[in-house]
């Protein structure tokens, strides 16, 4: 299985996280966030340990076709970061403390997976509201995505 939400459906046997109705507002938000977010993150991602030289070359070539040369993405990182930060302000209004709810749901997994990826940028600073939200998701999911990004081997 490749899709994370399909995996969640399989392991969530008691339907604790299942949401019967899609959240079109969240889908729209994640679509708007994805373009600047992924353009900002890709030049960082390619230097993580999960890539070999050949997979790194493949990834850079494939993603450069859609997003442009990685050198340009990196040069534009401050503009992209500013776009992301504006969108983060928008999402903060929907954290109650979870996404549009007092209860944890699949929507939080979808949102947090996007937001969590910003931890790859060592100097990125989250607002306290988003940081606390992500730490709560981390605790609930026993999640430590790439805790070793910046550790030396």
**1 CB neighbour count, 10 Å cutoff:** 8
Segment 9-55, tens digit of pLDDT: 676 666 665 555 667 888 899 999 999 999 999 999 998 888 899 99
Segment 103-148, tens digit of pLDDT: 988 889 889 989 999 999 988 999 999 999 999 998 988 876 655 5
Q: Tell me the fold of 23-141.
A: Glutathione S-transferase Yfyf (Class Pi); Chain A, domain 2 (1.20.1050)
Query: Domain map of the chain by residue range?
Result: 23-141
- Global pTM reads 0.80
Burial class (CB in 10 A: 0-12, 13-18, 19+), 99: buried
For residues 120 and 37, is the Cβ–Cβ distance under 8 A? Answer: no
Q: Which single residue is written with the structure tokens 């850079």?
A: 60
């Amino acid at each position: 299985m490749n899709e994370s939400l399909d995996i969640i459906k399989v392991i969530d046997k008691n339907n604790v996280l299942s949401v019967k109705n899609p959240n079109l507002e969240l889908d729209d938000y994640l679509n708007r966030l994805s373009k600047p977010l992924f353009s900002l993150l890709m030049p960082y991602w390619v230097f993580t340990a999960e890539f070999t030289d050949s997979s790194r070359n493949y990834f850079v070539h494939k993603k450069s076709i859609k997003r442009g040369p990685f050198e340009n993405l990196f040069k534009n990182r401050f503009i992209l970061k500013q776009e992301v930060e504006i969108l983060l302000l928008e999402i903060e209004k929907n954290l109650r403390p979870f996404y549009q709810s007092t209860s944890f749901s699949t929507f939080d997994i979808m949102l947090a997976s996007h937001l969590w990826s910003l931890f790859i940028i060592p100097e990125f600073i989250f607002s306290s509201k988003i940081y606390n939200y992500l730490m709560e998701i981390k605790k609930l999911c026993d999640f430590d995505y790439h805790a070793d990004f910046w550790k030396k081997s």
